[in-house]
Amino acid sequence: MILYLMCFFLFLVGVYGAITKRDLIKIILAIGIMGYSVNLFLVLLAYRTGALAPILEKGFNVPMVDPIPQALVLTSIVIELGVTALMAALAIRIYQKYDTFDITKIRRLQG
C-alpha cells in the first residue's frame, strides 16, 4: 500500500504545480507529472509477485504479469506526447501575442 500512496503523492505534486505556478511552461510540466503517476499506478496494479514480462518462450511455462494495463498505458504514453506538443504550440502562440508566459498578465484569457 505504501507504493500506491507514494504514487498518489506524485500525482498530488503535479496538482500542486498546476494550481499554484504562474508560468505556463511549469504548468505544462506539472500536467506531464500527473500523467507519469497515473501510468505508473496502472502498471503497479497489474504486477504479480515473481512474474515475468508477458512474452512467450518456447518450452517455458512461467507466470506472467497482466498485459492489459500495459496495453492501455502504451496508448496513454503516445497520446501524452501529442498533447504536450499541442500545449507547447499553444504556449508559443500565447507568448507571441502577449510577450510573456505569466498567466496573471494574460488579461484576455481571464473570464
Partner 1 sequence: MPVDVWLYFILGFMIIGSIASLEIKNILSSIITIGVVGLGLSLAFLFLGAPDLALVQFVFEILCVIILIRAFAKRSIEVRALRRDVPETIIAIVILASIFVLSIFAFKDLPSFGKPIVRVAERYLAQAGVETGSQNIVTSVILNYRIYDTLGEVTVLFTAILGTFTILRKTGRKKRHAE
Partner 2 sequence: MQNNFPNEGMSVIVKTITRFTVWLIFLYGLYIVLHGHLSPGGGFAGGVIIALSYVHLTLAYGKNFVLARVDKFAMNSLESIAAILFVLTGIVGLYVVGNFLANFMGIGKLYTLISAGYIPMLNIFICVKVGMGLYLVFYYLASFKPQEG
Which residues in this chain contact partner 2 in the complex, by CB under 8 A? 53, 55-56, 58, 74, 78, 81-82, 85, 88-89, 92, 95-96
Integer-rounded Cα Rg, in Å, for the chain is 19
Q: Does 97 bind partner 1 (CB under 8 A)?
A: no
Closer to partner 2 by CB, 19 or 56: give it.
Answer: 56
Grid cell in block for residue 103: 498567466
CA distance 71 to 23: 34
Contact of residue 106 among partner 2, partner 1, none (CB under 5-8 Å per partner type): none
Considering the complex, what minimum distance in angstroms separates the CB of residue 73 from partner 2?
12
DSSP 66: -
Q: Give residue for cell 505508473.
A: 40
